[in-house]
Amino acid sequence: MSVLLAMIRRDLLLVMRRKSEVLTALFFFVVVTSLFPLGIGADTALLRKIAPGVIWVAALLSTLLGLQRMFAADYADGALEQIALSPQPMVLLVAGKMIAHWMVCGLPLVILAPIIGIQFDLDTSSLYILMGTLLLGTPVLSLLGSIGAALTLGVRGGSVLMSLLVLPLYIPVLIFGAGAVYANSVGLDTSGHFSLLGALLILALAFVPWVTAAAVKIAIE
Amino acid sequence: MTDTNNFDKNRLVNWFKLSSPSTFYPVAGKLIPFFWVLTAIFGLAGLWVSFFVAPVDAVQGQGYRIIFIHVPASWMSMFIYLVMAAWAGLGLIFNTRLSAMMAQALAPIGAWMAFLSLWTGAFWGKPMWGAWWVWDARLTSELILLFLYLGFIALQASIDNPRRADKAGAILALVGVVNVPIIYFSVKWWNTLHQGASVSLTKAPAMAQTMLLGMLLMALCFWMYTIAVGLMRVRAIILEREAHTDWVRQLDEVKV
Amino acid sequence: MWNSPAEFFAMGGYALYVWCSFGVCLAVLLFEPLSICARNKAIIRRLKQEQLAEQFDKEGSQ
């Protein structure tokens, strides 16, 4: 447990020294969501309808931007090899990195989302649902994305390739997350969506750390 | 080291002996024409049934005959993904190069099958449902499957070290295999929510026996084709990756 | 079933769709083995050239 916390603390410390990397990803989220009304027009009814999809897709894309950071810097300066060689279980170290990534890239999205939601004229209950789905969904995004980040470590054109690999895996989260907000806006029940999102989160937590640890080991060899 | 090429003596082939590229290469070479013949037989039989035996559909007229390549292509695209992931997984577990090469050989065919499924689906949908593309659950899942194939191929192409490419591809394929049912289920659910009860492109109310027979024959034809082309491609991959070994230099086609 | 070849090719008005589908299918299924043959020839040519170059080196250094 302390291994996990130590890893989280280390990553958060590194982020604090280079705040700009993280802030640019969040800024990207805000800019992209603002582009849609500029491109489509300010018709509030239309904006309310597209809001769940737009906000969720922007969340996906900005998570992808932040994923580069998870392993690349450590891989480049050799720290990742030291981490892999340490006697601590690799799974815990990798899980710590994922949690730190989520705290830095996913959690701020959850906090920013209501503000964006207001820009799209979503009503209050939909805003709560939006935050809830993002709260459950962004950890899954960080988890699944870490697989792509580990597989494409040090590969030429790795960041674009990572997006191609990871985005299909994100589709169920997108469907249930945006679907929940849409369902709420038309008055349908959203408990099914949340259960499925929760199930995806549990599945991801149960399997992905091991997969990512294996992928990191393969990348380091 | 005892004689490793004693297939005639042993009825029960030791599969691990086959996992060496040097023993597999000639075996594959002998099998390929056999599978081409099967492809031709099933293909001709299937086309015969598709065009000359299966009756006209009451609702869709002659246009429904596209089903005889659309459905087999879809089946094959999904089946090949499973087989590819299985080979990649075997390569990861047993650390055999040949299994990974097999997965690498199957990926392009699977991608083409997914593409054909989408293409024929579009050409079927246009006359029947008036649109080139509908966000039908099956078609959308097929599109995502194509993305998964392309991702696998792209990943392997971009990693220089072949062994690392094998293992990374294997992890990606296995993750994909687990995700395909999840993606399919979520897309199906999404489809019913946003489109209501729409006619599914592949739901045919009562399939005439001949139609099923035609689809089955074409599916078998595609399957034999996949094996034939897969074996051909794996031989090319073996030559490329084992280029500096002695046995390759001694091959008839390569020896100077 | 078909009264004439013309009827067969017309496919009851769906000719464009049916033949484009089957045509592209055939094209893809033919393209694959041909491209693999080309790939095979390229690698074999390269290996032959490498062997020739080695022989040349060996003879040259003797």
Q: Is the pLDDT of residue B197 over 50?
A: no
Which of C1, C20, C51 shows the shortest C-beta gap to B123? Answer: C20
User: How far apart (Å, rounded) are the C-alpha atoms in residues B162 and B160?
Assistant: 6
A85 CB neighbour count, 10 Å cutoff: 10
Among A149, A154, A153, smallest CA distance to A166 is for A149
Mean pLDDT (chain B) is: 85
Q: Which two tokens stand for residue B150?
A: 């392309």
State residue C25's pLDDT score.
Answer: 94
Let me know: does C46 contact B155? Beta carbons within 8 Å. Answer: no
Chain B CB within 8 Å of residue C9 CB: no
Q: Which two tokens stand for residue B139?
A: 């078609």
Q: Answer whether B171 sits within 8 Å of A165, measured CB to CB.
A: no
Among A105, A125, A127, smallest CA distance to A52 is for A127
| DSSP symbols for B88-139 | HHHHHHH--HHHHHHHHHHHHHHHHHHHHHHHHHHHHHHHHHS-S----HHH
Model pTM? Answer: 0.89
State residue C13's pLDDT score.
Answer: 76
Domain residues for B73?
23-202+219-249
At A33-76, the pLDDT tens digits run: 999 988 988 888 899 989 999 999 999 999 998 898 889 888 88
Highest mean pLDDT among A16-30, A170-184, B130-144, C5-19: A170-184
Domain residues for C20?
5-61
Q: Answer whether A172 sits within 8 Å of B182, measured CB to CB.
A: yes
| DSSP symbols for B45-67 | HHHHIIIIISPPBTTTBGGGGGH
Among A19, A24, A34, smallest CA distance to A62 is for A24
Q: Is the pLDDT of residue B5 over 70?
A: no
Half-sphere exposure of residue C58: CA atoms within 13 angstroms, side-chain side: 6
User: How far apart (Å, rounded) are the C-alpha atoms in residues B255 and A45?
Assistant: 73
Q: Which amino acid is at B197?
A: A
Q: Which two tokens stand for residue B126?
A: 């246009």
State residue A93's pLDDT score.
Answer: 92
Across the range B50-65, mean pLDDT stands at: 78
Among B37, B56, B40, B36, smallest CA distance to B217 is for B40
User: How far apart (Å, rounded) are the C-alpha atoms in residues A119 and A135?
Assistant: 20
- What DSSP element (H or E) covers B192? helix B162-195
ipTM score of the complex? 0.89
Q: Is the pLDDT of residue A96 over 80?
A: yes
In chain B, % of residues over pLDDT 90: 50
State residue B38's pLDDT score.
Answer: 95
Q: Which two tokens stand for residue A49?
A: 């309808």
Let me know: does C10 contact B209? Beta carbons within 8 Å. Answer: no
State residue B9's pLDDT score.
Answer: 47
Task: Kindly list the distances between the CA atom of residue A1 and the CA atoms of A89, A91, A209, C56, in Å, as whole numbers in the listed order.
Answer: 11, 12, 15, 64
* Residues in chain A within 8 Å Cβ distance of B159: 155
Which of B66, B127, B233 shows the shortest C-beta gap to C36? Answer: B233
Q: Is the pLDDT of residue A9 over 60?
A: yes
Q: Is the pLDDT of residue B205 over 70?
A: no
Across the range B75-95, mean pLDDT stands at: 94
Let me know: does A55 contact A33? Beta carbons within 8 Å. Answer: yes
B180: distance to nearest CA of chain C, Å?
A: 25
**pLDDT band at B15; cut points 50, 70, 90:** low
Terminal Cα distance for chain A, rounded: 27
Let me know: does C17 contact B63? Beta carbons within 8 Å. Answer: yes
State residue B198's pLDDT score.
Answer: 44
In chain A, % of residues over pLDDT 70: 100
Mean pLDDT (chain C) is: 87
Q: Which amino acid is at B91?
A: G
Widest distance between CA atoms in chain C: 78
Better-predicted residue by pLDDT, B93 or B136 = B93
Mean pLDDT (chain A) is: 91
A192: distance to nearest CA of chain B, Å?
A: 11
Q: Which residues of A151-170 are buried (b: 16+ CB within 10 A; e: fewer)?
A: bbbebeebeebbbbbbbbbb
User: How far apart (Å, rounded) are the C-alpha atoms in residues B215 and B54?
Assistant: 10
State residue A197's pLDDT score.
Answer: 94
Q: Which amino acid is at A199?
A: A
* Residues in chain C within 8 Å Cβ distance of B119: 21, 24-25
At A13-26, the pLDDT tens digits run: 998 988 887 888 88
Q: Is the pLDDT of residue B45 over 50?
A: yes
Question: Helix %, strand %, coil % for chain B, to 5?
Answer: 75, 0, 25
Across the range B131-145, mean pLDDT stands at: 86
**pLDDT band at A201; cut points 50, 70, 90:** very high
Dihedral pair phi/psi, residue B9, rounded to 5°: -75, -45
Q: What domain count does chain C have?
A: 1
**Tens place of pLDDT for every residue, chain C, 62 residues?**
677 777 777 777 788 888 889 999 999 999 999 999 999 999 999 988 988 898 899 998 88
Q: What domain count does chain B have?
A: 1
Q: Which two tokens stand for residue B48?
A: 């015969």
Better-predicted residue by pLDDT, B231 or A76 = B231
Among A177, A91, A21, A214, smallest CA distance to B89 is for A214
Highest mean pLDDT among A149-158, B51-60, B195-204, C11-20: A149-158
Across the range B137-152, mean pLDDT stands at: 92
**pLDDT band at B12; cut points 50, 70, 90:** low
* Residues in chain A within 8 Å Cβ distance of B175: 147, 169, 211
State residue B142's pLDDT score.
Answer: 92
User: How far apart (Å, rounded) are the C-alpha atoms in residues C18 and B120?
Assistant: 9
- What DSSP element (H or E) covers C8? helix C5-10
Q: Which amino acid is at C35?
A: S
Site of tokens 């870490």: A146
Which of A168, A183, A218 shows the shortest C-beta gap to B151? Answer: A168
Terminal Cα distance for chain B, rounded: 28
